Amino acid sequence: MKKRPFLLALALLAGLFVFFLALVVTLASYMGNPTDFALGDKVGVIEIYGVIADSKQVIEQLHEFRDNDSIKALVLRIDSPGGGVGPSQEVYEEVKLVDAVKPVVVSMGSVTASGGYYIAAGAREIVANPGTITGSIGVIMEFANVQELLNKIGLGSVVVKSGEYKDIGSPTRDMTAVERTILQELIDDVHSQFVNSVAEGRHMDPEKVNAIADGRIFTGRRAMELGLVDRMGNLEVAIKRAAELAGLEGEPHVVYPPGKKPRFIDMFIEETLNQLQLALQKERSVGLQYLWRGFN
């Protein structure tokens, strides 16, 4: 009899714990960050959208999911025309390292071209829609020349430099033949890095990759015929395939990286800056780019 109050209290505490756990899961699902609290093994989904200008956030998310023992496989949802050479290469290398620990599958959205495809090539498998725009294996570097405009308005440019080629690509003068050769050699070197990375990631002959690495784009269906993609399907297909590769049974629980809900003013400022950045990138490309210029 004396033990009954203790047992009742214990049962009450257990009931409260289950209630609050269910409440947390329900609220998390309602607020758009579901299944972080889901029990059992999970598939993590990381999204890469827009121009690839920085690798820090994606790499942090890859590390977080790699070190989470309850996440057995990852899906990279990529919808990007590409971007900077450095960030694309950094994410590609990290994807390969994570895939050595747990399977990584890429799900291609509307566009996964150039640097976007570079990243995808590091995954174990690639899933694309039949109409996905992909490929664009190549490198681009663009320069504007405003010399004639400056002459018309009576402005000149004075340059003091430490070496003959220190102002290579200057917008205030014509490029010399030697400078063009130097830049072409640079482009060819970085292009060969792209080709070799695709060949390594896709287990293809470099010569076979090089034959289609002239910047052309492909549909997802054509890319699969060429060996650049493994299967057709949407994000759900990619998630189920990742679960299969990890040996998971049944419907997989899906988790996304945690994120805070921004204030309206933060969203407004961020969107304004993003639009400004895109406008500037359309007018002037800075540095080497794994970028498909057909993206608007």
Please report, for residues 156, 168, 191, the alpha-carbon distance to residue 151 in angstroms, rounded to integers and kept in the order given.
7, 20, 36
**73 three-class SS:** strand
**Active-site entry in 107, 114, 136, 197:** 114
Please report, for residues 75, 152, 235, 266, the alpha-carbon distance to residue 61 in angstroms, rounded to integers and kept in the order given.
12, 51, 18, 22
Angle at 61 between CA 76 and CA 107, to 5 degrees: 5
Cα four-point dihedral sign 196, 86, 53, 88? positive
Q: Is 70 designated active site?
A: no
Q: Is 260 designated active site?
A: no
Please report, for residues 124, 172, 217, 239, 276, the alpha-carbon distance to residue 251 in angstroms, rounded to integers and kept in the order given.
21, 60, 35, 10, 42
Alpha helices in the chain (DSSP H): 3-30, 56-66, 85-99, 115-120, 147-153, 177-202, 206-212, 220-226, 235-245, 264-283
Quote the tokens at residue 18. Answer: 């289950």
**253 three-class SS:** strand
156 residue type, one letter: G
* Active centre residues (catalytic): 114, 166
